[in-house]
Amino acid sequence: MNDAATAEYWDQRYAHPNHVYGYRPNDFLKLQSRFLGPASRILALCDGECRNGVWLAEQGHDVVSVDLSAVGLAKGRALATERGVAIETWHVDLADWVGMPGPDRPWDAVVAVFTYLPSALRRDVAAEATRQAARGAVLIAEEFTPAQPSMGTGGPTDPDLLVTRGAAADEWRGWNPDVRLTERRLFEGMDHQGLASVVQVLGLRA
């Protein structure tokens, strides 16, 4: 992929008629969603075309999907309508979101799936999400590791967008995170297909 993290780049990616990352939720999110309390208020970071946000709304959660791409979020809202659920979408660059006043009600959960954020921003976003989350909130995150480019199955190639186990543990340290490095088969849309190297994080806000 082109690693340029601009709104124009992502709008162009999402101009494709299909959902680039598919219509089903991320596998790790689906598996770990059993830890979410009923009707959780969930922050879905970098939710793109909102496959994850819409699926969470279908499970009865109250979701805010945040992304840089207006085109992606519009596709997400259309998917929500098609599925008979509602999600809130915030069209914002997370670089601007960091330091904004927090929500009226702290988040019950934070979801960060394949965010492709540069490391400095990723750290700031994790710190802000940590600050805004309720005690006992659930964190579910999955990112590509530095081994991913050699797998040839999608994901960023810029090393700064790839996440080591140590970085994930440090960025999400306020959540007593369980961090695993693993290889798994991805079938998540046109861009994420095949054996992939990922870091998975499950946490509970301390």
Ligand X SMILES: C[S@@+](CC[C@H](N)C(=O)[O-])C[C@H]1O[C@@H](n2cnc3c(N)ncnc32)[C@H](O)[C@@H]1O
Q: Which of 4, 135 has the CB closer to ligand X?
A: 4
Residue 151 CB contacts under 8 Å (≥ 6 apart), including other chains: 183, 194, 195, 196, 197
Indicate the pairing of strand 107-113 with strand 62-67. unpaired
Among 36, 42, 68, 162, binds ligand X (CB under 6 A): 68
Closest separation in Å from C-beta 107 to ligand X: 16
**Residues 1 to 20 in contact with ligand X, rule: CB under 6 A:** 5, 10
Closest separation in Å from C-beta 75 to ligand X: 10
Question: Long-range contacts: 78-82, Cβ < 8 Å, 24+?
Answer: 79/19, 79/23, 79/49, 79/50, 79/51, 79/54, 80/50, 80/53, 80/54
Contacting range for ligand X; rule: CB under 6 A; set: 66-74, 79-87, 133-141, 174-182: 66-74
d(CA 143, CA 184): 12
Contacting range for ligand X; rule: CB under 6 A; set: 113-121, 126-134, 167-175, 178-186: 113-121
Is 109 strand, coil or helix?
A: strand
Q: Which of 8, 136 has the CB closer to ligand X?
A: 8
Would you count residue 117 as binding ligand X (CB under 6 A)?
Answer: yes
d(CA 66, CA 100): 14
Binding site for ligand X (CB under 6 A): 5, 10, 21, 26, 46-48, 51, 67-69, 72, 93-95, 113-117
